[in-house]
Amino acid sequence: MRQSQLLGNKSDIVYGFSSVEDGNMSFLWGEEKEVLKNREDFLQKLGVDPKRCVVMSVWDESVIEEITHDTPMGIGRDESTKADALITREKGIALFLLTADCLPIVLYDPIVKAVALIHAGWKSADARLAVRVVESLKRDYGSDPRNILAALGPGIHKESYIFEKLERPHADGWRSFWATSPDGTTSIDIVGYNTAQLLEAEIAENNIEASSIDTAKDSLVYSHFRAKKTGEKEGEVCYNSYD
């Protein structure tokens, strides 16, 4: 298990992300019994009760879901919430996200005690989800963006996110975050684009921390992008925040 240095020294929030040594956390890539055990063991390391855990089931529609104690909880196959970002300010709730290359982002406001967990993939970056989540924290909880801490977990970096032929549609905002080389390949900077969105949302630069771990290169974590090239076993890791 690894933790953010930015959030690791905050006594009122627990945050961590799993690694390959913690095992696959996704029912897509493993047997149900094994996945449940991996999830339970990981949460135990964080001191989190699985029954107080909300698992995000990515919707790819830029849906922001507010989590309360009335939200269905649990880590079973059918116990998940369809959303692309979860927000809460209620104590004793754990937010749980699975990724394999997309960027996980944790936002935490230590003043109003609000936390958000964002799945920052291609579509959500197109939809400027990071900006919209900060706006939700401001509107719903009275957060001042200058107080918000933003931890960007491991994800695929521009040195690895390279396409021989870029066919995916992209919003104009990407233009500063993709580059075409003389050989015709195009690299995509999903970390840079989401960082820029957080800065645009008025989060202070020194309150933003991006993990140096490139999932496509580091065997510490699973990577769908890498697995397609190497044929290695696939899986997903967990990003968890607990307010």
DSSP-assigned letters across all residues of the chain:
-B--HHHHT-TT-EEEE--GGG----TTSS-HHHHHHHHHHHHHHHT--GGGEEEEEE-SS--EEE--TTS--B-STT--EEESEEEE--TT-EEEEEESSSEEEEEEETTTTEEEEEEE-HHHHHTTHHHHHHHHHHHHH---GGG-EEEE-SB--TTT-EESS--S---GGGGGGEEE-TTS-EEE-HHHHHHHHHHHTT--GGGEEE---BTTT-TTS--HHHHHHH-PPP--EEEEEE-
The pLDDT, as a whole number, for residue 191 is 97
For residues 204-227, give the mean pLDDT. 93
- Domains in the chain, start-ordered, CATH in brackets? 5-242 (3.60.140.10)
For residues 102-118, give the mean pLDDT. 96
What percentage of residues in the chain have a pLDDT greater than 90?
A: 70
The pLDDT, as a whole number, for residue 2 is 64
Per-residue model confidence as pLDDT tens digits over 46-96: 899 999 999 999 987 899 999 999 999 999 999 999 999 999 999 999 999
For residues 101-125, give the mean pLDDT. 94
Per-residue model confidence as pLDDT tens digits over 163-213: 887 766 567 788 889 888 888 899 999 999 999 999 999 999 999 999 999
Q: Residue 242 pLDDT more than 70? A: no
pTM more than 0.75:
yes
Q: Residue 243 pLDDT more than 90? A: no
Alpha carbons within 13 angstroms on the beta-carbon side of residue 89 total 14
